[in-house]
């Protein structure tokens, strides 16, 4: 075998973690460099002529990579339903203030509209949050993706959990970036805490007028927070080195 393969293997087996390869991309680069060049013969004992090396049986070139961005989450669909839910909430809030929801028929109709839009919005938000947690390497996760989503549905406990699942996601994302040596760290901890506060204030949306203000703030923070998280995750997976 080409002795340069031995060097790659020995570096991968270094006891010091910092001396080893930090990601698979580094291994791929070195192996590709070896397989794409002339093979080097190993040193023969006794000064005799070394045996000829056969060219490696690897493909001459790696398959072309797709230019399609890696999308781990349904961000666009989630944002569409989240905005629709916000619009319905504002309309319902305005109708309540104007006294147009006095009859039972109007209330039933608006309730059905809220359910038709709100339920898909909640489902997509759960998928979005789960996949963000799932995209982070396991050794950087403070909690499992299932707990990150599931505990949000426990009454009263979810008020506390709001300050765990979103800020912890931000902290884990920052730690992951630092571990791979990124120079421009995306830190969304402040946004995550703010969104947790808005989540806790959610019950106040039952009060007409205040509901609109909280919904506007929640919508803006939600879009900015997850946009920054997903852009960071996508950029890391597209350029791991």
Same domain for 98 and 215, yes or no, is yes
Task: Look at residue 61 and tell me if it is in a domain.
Answer: no
Same domain for 94 and 11, yes or no, is no
Same domain for 79 and 42, yes or no, is no
Same domain for 168 and 220, yes or no, is yes
Task: Look at residue 56 and tell me if it is in a domain.
Answer: no
Same domain for 82 and 153, yes or no, is yes
Same domain for 43 and 104, yes or no, is no
Cβ pair 129, 229 in contact under 8 A: no
Same domain for 209 and 141, yes or no, is yes
- Local confidence band at 221 (pLDDT 50, 70, 90 cut-offs): very high
Same domain for 38 and 84, yes or no, is no
Q: Other C-beta atoms within 10 Å of 107: how many?
A: 14
pLDDT at 131 over 80: yes
Task: Look at residue 160 and tell me if it is in a domain.
Answer: yes
Task: Look at residue 67 and tell me if it is in a domain.
Answer: no
- Local confidence band at 173 (pLDDT 50, 70, 90 cut-offs): very high
Task: Look at residue 154 and tell me if it is in a domain.
Answer: yes
DSSP class per residue in the chain: --HHHHHHHHHHT-SSGGGS-SSHHHHHHHHHHHHTSPPPPPPPGGGPPPPPPPPP-S-SSPPPPP-SPP--S-HHHHHHHHHHHHHHHHHHHHHHHTT---SHHHHHHHHHHHHHHHHHHHHHHHHHHHHHHHHS-GGG-SS-HHHHHHGGGSTTHHHHHHHHHHHHHHHHHHHHHHHTT-SS----HHHHHHHHHHHHTGGGGGSTTHHHHHHHHHHHHHHHHHHHHHHHHHHHHHS--
C-alpha–C-alpha distance, residues 172 and 187, integer Å: 10
Task: Determine the structural domain holding residue 208 and report its residue range.
Answer: 75-238
Same domain for 30 and 97, yes or no, is no
Same domain for 196 and 132, yes or no, is yes
Q: What's the mean pLDDT in 67-74?
A: 47
| Total number of domains in the chain | 2
pTM of the model: 0.61
Task: Look at residue 66 and tell me if it is in a domain.
Answer: no
Lowest mean pLDDT among 140-144, 159-163, 211-215, 222-226: 211-215
pLDDT of residue 23: 85
C-alpha–C-alpha distance, residues 178 and 171, integer Å: 11
Task: Look at residue 113 and tell me if it is in a domain.
Answer: yes
C-alpha–C-alpha distance, residues 113 and 95, integer Å: 14
pLDDT of residue 102: 64
Same domain for 16 and 95, yes or no, is no
Same domain for 220 and 122, yes or no, is yes
Share of the chain above pLDDT 90, in %: 25
C-alpha–C-alpha distance, residues 50 and 43, integer Å: 6
Task: Look at residue 170 and tell me if it is in a domain.
Answer: yes
How deeply is 11 buried, as exposed, middle or buried, from its count of CB atoms within 10 A (0-12, 13-18, 19+)?
middle
């Amino acid at each position: 075998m080409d002795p340069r393969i031995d060097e790659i293997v020995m570096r991968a087996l270094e006891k010091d973690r910092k001396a080893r390869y930090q990601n698979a991309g580094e291994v791929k680069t070195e192996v590709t460099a070896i397989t794409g060049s002339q093979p080097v013969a190993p040193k023969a004992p006794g000064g005799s002529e070394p045996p000829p090396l056969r060219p490696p049986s690897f493909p001459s070139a790696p398959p072309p990579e797709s230019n399609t961005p890696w999308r781990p989450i349904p961000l666009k669909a989630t944002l569409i339903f989240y905005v629709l839910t916000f619009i319905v909430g504002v309309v319902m809030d305005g109708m309540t203030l104007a006294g147009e929801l006095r009859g039972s028929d109007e209330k039933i109709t608006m309730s059905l509209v809220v359910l038709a839009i709100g339920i898909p919005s909640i489902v997509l938000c759960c998928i979005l949050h789960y996949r963000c947690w799932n995209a982070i390497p396991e050794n950087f996760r403070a909690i499992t993706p299932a707990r990150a989503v599931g505990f949000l549905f426990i009454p009263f406990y979810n008020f506390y959990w709001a300050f765990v699942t979103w800020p912890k996601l931000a902290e884990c994302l920052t730690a992951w970036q630092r571990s791979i040596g990124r120079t421009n760290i995306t830190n969304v901890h402040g946004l995550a805490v703010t969104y947790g506060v808005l989540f806790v204030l959610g019950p106040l949306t039952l009060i007409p007028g205040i509901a609109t203000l909280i919904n506007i703030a929640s919508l803006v923070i939600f879009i900015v927070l997850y946009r920054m998280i997903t852009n960071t995750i996508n950029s890391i997976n597209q350029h791991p080195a």
